[in-house]
């Protein structure tokens, strides 16, 4: 367990322009990984979704995995997880990525517009924890 936690803490993050990493994105966007919400899916009567196209991606490298956070210069819009990542791991990865963001840029604003429920909850919880500290 301790080794697993140490592995999660060794994470390298970098910001890239989408056009520079398309070869990494294409294989990860298989039809079973794309979630689309329209109309009254999941009991919603309507949903407003930004039409702004993502321009950047944050790549989070661990020892044997690479996770991608799609960014449209306002907020994270999608998470692409490498392999089967459990909820607590997602929170730790997101936390490490956000701490990197806060320490490396003058832009202290960070938000998300993630449609996938579990990922959105993980982002929201990490944001609350970081603002409390």
- Is the model's pLDDT at 9 over the cut of 90? no
Mean pLDDT of 35-52: 53
User: Is 83 within a domain?
Assistant: yes
Please give the model's pTM, rounded to 2 decimal places. Answer: 0.72
Confidence band for 11, pLDDT divided at 50, 70 and 90: confident
Percent of the chain with pLDDT over 70: 68
User: Is 2 within a domain?
Assistant: no
- Count of CB atoms within 10 A of residue 87's CB? 12
Burial class (CB in 10 A: 0-12, 13-18, 19+), 67: buried
Distance of CA 92 to the CA centre of its chain: 11
**How far, in Å, CA of 66 to CA of 72, rounded?**
19
**How far, in Å, CA of 16 to CA of 58, rounded?**
6
Q: What is the DSSP letter of 69?
A: E
Distance of CA 43 to the CA centre of its chain: 25
Q: What pLDDT, on the 0 to 100 scale, is given for residue 95? A: 92
Domain interval for residue 68: 10-29+36-132
Q: What pLDDT, on the 0 to 100 scale, is given for residue 122? A: 92
Element spanning 91, H or E: helix 87-104
- Is the model's pLDDT at 88 over the cut of 50? yes
């Amino acid at each position: 367990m301790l080794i697993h936690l140490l592995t999660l803490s060794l994470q390298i993050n970098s910001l890239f322009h989408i056009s520079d990493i398309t070869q990494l994105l294409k294989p990860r966007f298989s039809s079973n990984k794309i979630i689309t919400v329209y109309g009254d899916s999941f009991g919603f009567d309507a949903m407003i979704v930004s039409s702004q196209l993502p321009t950047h991606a944050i790549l989070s490298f661990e020892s044997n995995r690479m996770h991608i956070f799609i960014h449209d210069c306002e907020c994270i819009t999608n998470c692409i997880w490498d392999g089967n990542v459990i909820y607590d791991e997602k929170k730790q990865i997101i936390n490490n990525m956000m701490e990197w963001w806060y320490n490396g840029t003058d832009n202290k604003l960070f938000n998300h517009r993630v449609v996938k429920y579990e990922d959105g909850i993980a982002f929201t919880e990490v944001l609350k924890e970081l603002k409390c500290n």
